[in-house]
Structures are given as structure tokens and as C-alpha cells.
Structure 1
Amino acid sequence: MHFYSAAEYTDMVLLYGEYCQNSALTPRTYRERCGATRVCPISLRTIKGAVQRIRENQRIVPNTDEGVAPRHHPPSFEQRVLDHFDRNPICSLDNLNSLVSKFLFCCTLSNESKAVPTITLPAANRHAARVQRCHSSKGSRYVV
């Protein structure tokens, strides 16, 4: 996996805008203009990721820890996690893996827990996340 510099990401984003966000034309044009001197993006996801980071007012170069970009989960994934904890208020997060088929966390939550537990993510990711219990009309919910 190649990591691009800020200048390379900037050129990708400028071409994406220049060609009116044309998904097919942007990578091809980037290869034609910069292919001899730079590694060209394999997929449009690289360019769209840079555009999204700019829209979210983040760094154009993604934060990586040991070469692994942080994971972003879709809202449907988060909803499945919350629904699981609604059905099973006392549950091991290791058991949650079988439901969502993704490696998540390594700790155990209990319904009587007053403190906000810290969750340890995989060593390759090393990004910290927290689970907060909040009260709604349905009862206690855990927010990841």
C-alpha cells in the first residue's frame, strides 16, 4: 500500500474538481499528467477519501498508526451494535463479534457499571474509543 504525500493528494483533489467530479476521468488524467514521476492511485476511493477529509476539515493526508488508517463504521453498523446492547444489557464485547462479523473490542460491560469503560481496539489500529451509557425511552443504551 502506497502512502501519498500532501502534494500528491492536492493534485488529485484539484483534478477531481477540474473534471467536475468525473469518477472515471480523474484517475486516468492523473496517470497521464503525473504517471512518470509519481505512483498513481489504483482506485477512485483514494481521491474521494482525500476530498471527504477536506470536507470534514481534517488533514488531507490520513492519520495512520503503523501504516493502518483508522476504521470508520457506517451508521447501520453502529445501530446493530446499539441494538445488540439493548437486547443484552450485560454482554461480553467478544460475543458481539459473531453478530457483526468484525473485530471490535476486548472488554466486558455490565449494566451496573457507573463509570464509562474504556475500550481497547486492535493493536494494529491503536485508536482509542469510549462507550457511554445513556438513558433513552427504551432504557439504557451504549454509544460507541
Structure 2
Amino acid sequence: MPTRLPPADFLLSEARFDREDSDDYDRQIAAGMRQFYPELSHWHDTALVAALGEYGENVEWSADFSIPQSRNEDLLGYLYACQVMPVYQFLHFEPKKLDEAWQHYDAGTSEAHALALFDRVPVLQSIFKTKGAMLEALNRLAI
């Protein structure tokens, strides 16, 4: 299944990423990202670097903080999914699981899916403690 990208009028938010002072290397990475991702041109340098690292850790299982040399549509798909379906901010997943999440989202069963993930993914239990707390937090994060 191809990567689901945000609609043209969708504004990807940097709100969940830290906005700290950036060093020279952060600025170089951010400049490289802005070259390939005009959709993220409004993001702070450190938010771009944090998003790149999170994507690497959660999707590719390895954070790569090198200056981007090409566009990776999967990064935009990941950021979009995390903004629309915030439970994926807390998981390591493979693309097939992201596809599964989009199927639940399209079918209107995202809440049930998130509750099932709470039972299967121990990190969610350690972060939120209860299913109710998780749903409350995720509703605050969703667009």
C-alpha cells in the first residue's frame, strides 16, 4: 500500500517536538530537510531534527542524523499519521501496522484499536497507566 500523505491543505504541526536552541549541525540538517520538504519549512530547526530522529527510531529502527540527500515520502506519511492518530507517537511499528491503523481510522474504529494496543503494548501502559488516561491524552494531541 502506498504511503498516505497529508492533503495539500493540511498543516503538519511541530507542536509535539522540542524547540530548543539549535547548533550548527542542527541548522545544516534543517536546511537540508527544508530543501526536500517544503511542507515543513515553517518548522523550527530542532523540531525538524527531532522529527527526523523519531522517524528513524520508530520506523527504520535507527536514527540517522545525516543531512538529507533526497526526499522520503514515508517521513511525511509518518508525521501525518502521528498527528491524526497520535497513538503512533508512542510505538515502534512497521508500515503494515500503519496501514492497519489507517484502516481503523477510515472505518471509525480508531478508539477501539487504540484500546486494543494498550493491552498489547507495555510501553503504553507505562506511559499512561490507564486506558482512560491514554484516550484523554490522545484526544488532546489529535488535530
Confirm or deny a common fold (TM above 0.5): no
Give me the TM-score of the superposition, normalised by structure 2.
0.28
More strand by proportion, 1 or 2?
1
User: Which has the bigger relative contact order, CA under 8 A and spacing at least 6?
Assistant: 2
